[in-house]
Amino acid sequence: MQRQVLLSVAAVIAFMLAGCSAQISSFERVPYNGLAKTPPMGWNSWNLFANKIDDHTVRTVADAMASNGMRDAGYIYVNIDDTWEGVRDAQGTLSGNQRFPNMKALADYVHSKGLKLGIYSSPGPLTCARYMGSYGHEDQDAVTFATWGIDYLKYDWCSAATIYNYDDGLQTAYSKMGSALQATGRPIVYSVSAYGTANADKWGAEVGGNLWRTTQDISDTWDSMIGNIEEQVSTAPYAGPGHWNDPDMLEVGNGHMTDDEYRTHMSLWALAAAPLLAGNDVRTMSASTKSILLNSEVIAVDQDPLGKQSSRIKKRDFEIWVKPLADGSVAVGAVNLGSASIQVTIDARDLGLSGTVENARDLWEHREVHFSRNAYSATVPAHGVLLLKVSAS
């Protein structure tokens, strides 16, 4: 989340007078925690609920995910974003606010549904929404999160910019929490969020991150979604098991794009080996939204154990994204960037396969297709996608 908080001069002076100014030093490199061997899948509260999230809503979302097929499809994290935070007691221990009166009980409830609970904080004194951050309490908060039974932490830069030097302080800030989480002994997926402006793809793994934001915040528009995925081209070398580039959460089902655009959204995130964190109201999904989020063949592309991110080939009216898969096949997505239907042709020579195409399957139509003379053509609607799995003999 980018919602940058600019602390007032008075607030910054107060922190400094309290002895809270940061000492910047060479950051501690944090070893891999063994988690997120495929991109994390789940749900996040912010895109739909923002600051209106509460304990009851999280429980009803968990109920829905356990019964509507999401959990069984791999969506296992139920992530509470900003605005859950309360105050610290005399010992500095953080609690939830009145909307989250018992975080341990909430975690127990989510776990009882076969799901995992995620939470949010900031390396700064305040979060993006001006709630209590973790600055100066990193070790203490990590222990608190572990004691509650938290399974995932999104750590959002925000007011840390008032404490740390931006050029060399991000790694210091994020490695503090990365080390603190691992010291608890609890397996907690660590999501580094610095809005894609700090080259986190190059150092995210070194601070213990399992995933890191590579873009600004997504919104429920075609331009935002396509803009975020285009930024993944240069990040591809840094993706792999346990360490993922994150173009932000899914907007599928939030109502401001067409179903064709949402299928493109889901396809591109799968091709990019991106985390799949739904951001819609999973309690009241339409049949079309459910068919997009629960398409097992598309999810399998995202969750492929090889962990390779797709590369892009630009064409005149469309672009092709090609992702190598663990079984030697490739997933290929042809995206129509225009406002009218077009015919796209996928040339087998662009796919990096050795040999002649033997099998090809349309992952949205759930049917086999045939390459003729080493090419396959199909009509793709405006802002739509053709997504195939192709193997060679």
Residue 269 shares a structural domain with residue 319: no
Assess contact for 297 and 318: CB atoms under 8 A.
no
Examine residue 38 and state whether it is found in any structural domain, yes or no. Answer: yes
Q: What tokens appear for 202 in the block? A: 């190059």
pLDDT (0 to 100) of residue 2: 44
Examine residue 125 and state whether it is found in any structural domain, yes or no. Answer: yes
Examine residue 1 and state whether it is found in any structural domain, yes or no. Answer: no
Q: Is 248 a catalytic residue?
A: no
Residue 84 shares a structural domain with residue 146: yes
Residue 340 shares a structural domain with residue 200: no
pLDDT (0 to 100) of residue 330: 98
* Catalytic hit among 54, 156, 302, 304: 156
Residue 195 shares a structural domain with residue 64: yes
The packing angle between helices 103-112 and 55-67, to 10°, is 10
CATH of residue 364's domain is: 2.60.40.1180
Residue 166 shares a structural domain with residue 235: yes
Residue 331 shares a structural domain with residue 250: no
Residue 119 shares a structural domain with residue 253: yes
Assess contact for 179 and 217: CB atoms under 8 A.
no
Number of domains making up the chain: 2
Examine residue 2 and state whether it is found in any structural domain, yes or no. Answer: no
Assess contact for 155 and 192: CB atoms under 8 A.
yes
Kindly give the residue spans of alpha helices, DSSP state H, lying in the chain.
Answer: 9-17, 46-49, 55-67, 70-73, 103-112, 138-148, 166-183, 200-203, 222-230, 259-271, 287-293, 296-302
Residue 278 shares a structural domain with residue 227: yes
Examine residue 162 and state whether it is found in any structural domain, yes or no. Answer: yes
Domain-terminating residue out of 284, 302, 320: 302
Residue 290 shares a structural domain with residue 212: yes
Give the domain extent around 369: 311-392
Q: What tokens appear for 345 in the block? A: 């042709």
Indicate the SS3 state at residue 296.
helix
Assess contact for 337 and 383: CB atoms under 8 A.
yes
Q: Is 139 a catalytic residue?
A: no
Assess contact for 171 and 203: CB atoms under 8 A.
yes
Question: Does the model's pTM come out above 0.85?
Answer: yes
Residue 286 shares a structural domain with residue 331: no
* Catalytic hit among 217, 220, 246, 302: 217
Paired sense of beta strands 152-156 and 189-193, if any: parallel
Each residue's pLDDT tens digit, 169-225:
899 999 999 999 999 999 999 999 998 878 999 999 999 999 999 999 999 999 999
Examine residue 4 and state whether it is found in any structural domain, yes or no. Answer: no
pLDDT (0 to 100) of residue 295: 98
Residue 82 shares a structural domain with residue 176: yes
pLDDT (0 to 100) of residue 169: 87
- Residue pLDDT tens, the chain, 393 long: 444 333 333 333 234 333 343 444 468 899 999 999 999 999 999 999 999 999 999 999 999 999 999 999 999 999 999 999 999 999 999 999 999 999 999 999 999 999 999 999 999 999 999 999 999 999 999 999 999 999 999 999 999 999 998 777 899 999 999 999 999 999 999 999 998 878 999 999 999 999 999 999 999 999 999 999 999 999 999 999 999 999 999 999 999 999 999 999 999 999 999 999 999 999 999 999 999 999 999 999 999 999 999 999 988 889 999 999 999 999 999 999 999 999 999 999 999 998 899 999 999 999 999 999 999 999 999 999 999 999 998
Domain-terminating residue out of 252, 284, 302: 302
Indicate the SS3 state at residue 300.
helix
- Among 383, 343, 364, residue whose Cα is nearest residue 258: 383
Element (H, E) at 380: strand 375-380
- CA gap 253, 139 in Å, rounded: 38
CATH of residue 288's domain is: 3.20.20.70
Examine residue 88 and state whether it is found in any structural domain, yes or no. Answer: yes
Examine residue 26 and state whether it is found in any structural domain, yes or no. Answer: yes
Each residue's pLDDT tens digit, 322-371:
999 999 999 999 999 999 999 999 999 999 998 899 999 999 999 999 99
Domain-terminating residue out of 248, 283, 302: 302
CA quadruple 170, 231, 339, 261: dihedral sign: negative
Residue 190 shares a structural domain with residue 258: yes
